[in-house]
């Protein structure tokens, strides 16, 4: 469930020094192919699509300063919470996460923002399942989105996907196979599997684990 509108969210996003708003398309689209210049280094770039309140990607950036991260979120009312969380964390822990940027945008526009082979890894965490069959192409693991990922991912790039929704997970496995990708490190209960080592939880994941819900997880890559 998404947050309700947050008063002043748009203004906070516009004034954030580490956030780019899709409303400013000329600024955002001009970054295509030159994100390493924006980060001022040649480190690999990882993105999270639908980052929510930012707990996952902020902690990744904190732990891995040698990797550049971009968090993508289309809802202003959610993104503003990530901005606030980051600001509070940087102040309390005296951090400066120069390797992390946020973008407010719809994932449909990935092709306009990232160049061919520009991204090294994609995280999809607890994405909207879009349960109605007529909305299948909107699911972030659909063949339509896999085609977009195929374009922006480097040859050795991969997707890391987590969800509590078994139907979405099973759908994703089919889409991955039929799109010519390979699914690897598959588990239907992450927190009881060998793949839990190094796992960073999202806000939703923490809640679901407390409720005793199993978390499905996989990685996908191309031959």
Nearest alpha carbon to residue 87 among 76, 79, 95: 95
User: Regarding beta strands 68-73 and 19-21, do their DSSP bridges make them parallel or antiparallel, or are they unpaired?
Assistant: unpaired
From the list 99, 85, 120, 105, the residue with the least C-alpha distance to 18 is 99
Cβ atoms 59, 93 nearer than 8 A = no
CA dihedral (95, 101, 104, 110) in degrees, to 10, reads: -160
Contact 112/29 with Cβ under 8 angstroms?
A: yes
Task: Give the SS3 label for residue 208.
Answer: helix
Q: Determine contact, residues 67/97, Cβ cutoff 8 Å.
A: no
- On the CB side of 153, how many CA atoms lie within 13 Å of its CA? 21
- Coil, helix or strand for 158? strand
Which residue shows structure tokens 């748009």? 10
Phi/psi for 191 (5° steps) reads -75, -5
Q: Which of the following is catalytic: 24, 128, 170, 189? A: 128
Alpha-carbon distance of 98 to 185, in angstroms, equals 31
184 is catalytic: no
Tell me the catalytic residues: 128
């Amino acid at each position: 469930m998404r947050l309700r509108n947050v008063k002043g969210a748009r203004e906070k996003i516009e004034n954030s020094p580490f956030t780019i708003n899709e409303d400013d398309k000329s600024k955002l689209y001009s970054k295509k192919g030159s994100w390493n210049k924006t980060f001022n280094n040649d480190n690999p770039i990882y993105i999270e699509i639908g980052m929510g309140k930012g707990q996952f990607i902020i902690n990744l950036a904190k732990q891995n300063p040698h990797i550049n991260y971009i968090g993508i979120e289309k809802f202003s009312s959610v993104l503003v919470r990530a901005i606030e969380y980051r600001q509070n964390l940087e102040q309390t822990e005296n951090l400066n996460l120069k390797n992390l940027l946020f973008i407010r945008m719809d994932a449909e526009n990935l092709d306009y923002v990232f160049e061919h082979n520009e991204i090294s890894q994609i995280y999809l965490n607890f994405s909207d399942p879009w349960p109605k069959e007529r909305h299948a192409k909107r699911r972030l693991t659909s063949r339509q989105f896999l085609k977009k990922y195929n374009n922006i991912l480097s040859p050795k790039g991969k997707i890391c996907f987590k969800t509590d929704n078994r139907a979405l997970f099973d759908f994703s496995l089919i889409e991955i196979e039929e799109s010519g990708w390979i699914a690897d490190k598959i588990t239907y209960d992450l927190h009881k599997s060998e793949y839990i080592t190094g796992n960073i939880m999202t806000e939703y994941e923490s809640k679901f684990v407390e409720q005793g819900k199993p978390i499905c997880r996989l990685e996908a890559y191309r031959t």
